[in-house]
Amino acid sequence: MRTRLLGMVWFLVALLVFGLGVPLALSVAGAEQQRLFLDRLTDTTRFASLAQRPLTDARPESLREELQRYAELYGISVVIVDRDSNPAVSSASAGSSMPVDLADPKVRERIDAALAGRRPEAGALLLPWDAEPLVLAGPVLVDGEVRGAVVSVSPTDRSRSRMLWWWLLIAAGGVLAFGLALMLAVPVIQWILRPVRRLDEATGSLVAAVVSGREAERVGGTHGPPELRKLGTSFDRMAASVGDTLAAQRAFVADASHQLRNPLTALKLRLVNLEGHVDAEAETHRVAASAEADRLNQILDELLSMARAESAGGELVPTDIDTVVAERVADWRVVAVSRDIALNRVGAAGDTWAMSPPRGVDGILDALLDNALKFTGAGSAVEVTVDLVGDRVRLAVRDHGPGLKADELERATDRFWRSHSHQNVPGSGLGLAIVSRIVAKASGELRLDLPEGGGLRVTVDLPADRLGTLGQGLRSRK
């Protein structure tokens, strides 16, 4: 947009410079031509007045000395012709003057006009590259009768030189005006576009800020035109409203989940107390109701985890990935052993640190290992891998279960979404959604793929903390 605005300004300034400079240059050329024409017209009229008596008395040679002195002084050739267009006297003998070719069509045209009694005319506009001399012919009138004509041929070098210098001065002024206009246009355009650029940056970061629970960047309304300042203020109000709405939604989910725990716990106790006190036909329904209560309790737990993941502060903390992986794998290995599943970490442990929300990596591993163990059959294995790839820590959990279809991978992180082939497996469909929110808060990346050999692999990339243990010591001293 900045380039387009600058292009428009350049075009308008160039149009203005040319629109003013060209007429001014032509006006200068016209004024210079008019000055030259009037000067030569005065001399031609003077010689026409001096030639009246010599032509009447048939003594034109008496003017030769005057014409020669004029030619020597100004370098202008003058010829006096009679009424039959024959040369009567001229300044041709002067070495500094140019000869007058009476056969030249232009000279002949001027002589014919003068002998017809017409006054000299300036002719076409004189331009710096027009090297033709100025030819003027004026009638010699005696008692209103044309007795001859005075023809002058004037070089235009000096007039054209002055005209050229004026044109160069006008061109330099135009270039200077163009440069000054551009110098003024750049800060003005930057002033206009500053709120637009801030709006673009704030819009790009709005989603990430809202998802991560941070306050959206404010655009403000202190710079730029009034209309854009008003737009920036409206954007700030909109961003604040969106953040408040999502915060209220998360608070509602957390409060509702927490408040439902008490009646759900009471319901489970009543169902347990009914054991042995209902007949055989009703026992089936009691067991089903107890299973549904357990499922509802699991959904509430995951809703609370989701609410905590979404409402956690935006500050990231350095996390020792190897320590967290070792702890979570040790805790979940008890569950894996009970289901005859091998839970192993692939690769050697190292000193790998990443930036994540507080206890974010714990939540990621709990959700991923819960899913992996849930869908992996007995006698199979679940593998946890930690690698450092560039400036990212890559954490992957791979199972050997039924996996997903290729077209289901994109929807797997949606809330409460479950594959049609997994409807018989207990769960709420919130595990990967929780992982997705935690990863988004850490400015990481979540990927799902179907590895060779079957199963599902979930890969999480988190920003690495290169300082590691040394960084922890520096921060503690601060």
Express each pLDDT in 404-422 by its tens digit: 888 888 888 776 666 666 6
**403: nearest Cα among 454, 460, 459:** 454
Whole-angstrom distance, CA of residue 453 vs CA of residue 400 = 8
Tokens representing 134 are 């100025």
Which pLDDT does position 423 carry in this prediction?
55
**Comparing 462 with 4, which gets the higher pLDDT?**
462
Determine the pLDDT at residue 251.
66
Same fold, 2-163 and 218-311: no
Whether residue 334 is predicted with pLDDT greater than 80 in this model: the reply is yes
Q: What band does 424 get if pLDDT is binned at 50, 70 and 90?
A: low
The answer to whether residue 291 scores a pLDDT higher than 50 is yes
pTM comes to: 0.45
Strand partners, 148: 82, 140
pLDDT in tens, 40-72: 888 888 888 888 888 887 888 888 888 888 888
AA identity, residue 360: G
478 pLDDT band, cuts 50/70/90, is very low
Between these two residues, 356 and 421, which has the higher pLDDT value?
Answer: 356
Pick the CATH number of 315-477 from 3.30.565.10, 1.10.3720.10, 3.20.20.150, 3.40.30.20: 3.30.565.10
pLDDT-based confidence at residue 310 (cuts at 50, 70, 90): low
**For 110-150, what is each residue's pLDDT tens digit?**
888 888 888 888 777 778 888 888 888 888 888 888 888 88
Please state, in angstroms and rounded to a whole number, the distance separating the CA atoms of residues 477 and 471: 10
Please say if the pLDDT value at position 323 is more than 70. yes
Q: 218-311: which CATH topology?
A: Helix Hairpins (1.10.287)
| Region of 218 on the Ramachandran plot (φ > 0 left; ψ -120 to 50 alpha; else beta) | beta
Burial tier of 352 (Cβ tally within 10 Å: 0-12, 13-18, 19+): buried
The arithmetic mean of pLDDT across residues 229-249, rounded, is: 73
List the beta strands (DSSP E) in 313-369.
Answer: 317-320, 342-346, 353-356
* Residue 472 reports pLDDT greater than 70: no
pLDDT of residue 461: 92
pLDDT tier at 216 (50, 70, 90 boundaries)? Answer: low
How much is the pLDDT for 303? Answer: 67
> Residue 205, CB half-sphere, CA atoms under 13 Å: how many?
15
Give yes or no for a contact between 121 and 92, defined as CB atoms under 8 angstroms apart.
Answer: no
CATH architecture of 2-163: 2-Layer Sandwich (3.30)
> In this structure, are residues 439 and 445 in contact, taking their beta carbons and an 8 Å threshold?
yes
Indicate the pLDDT class of residue 308, thresholds 50, 70 and 90. low
∠ at Cα 43 (37, 46), nearest 5°?
A: 135
Confidence of residue 474 (pLDDT cuts 50, 70, 90): very low
Q: Would you kindly state where each structural domain of the chain is located, as residue ranges?
A: 2-163, 218-311, 315-477
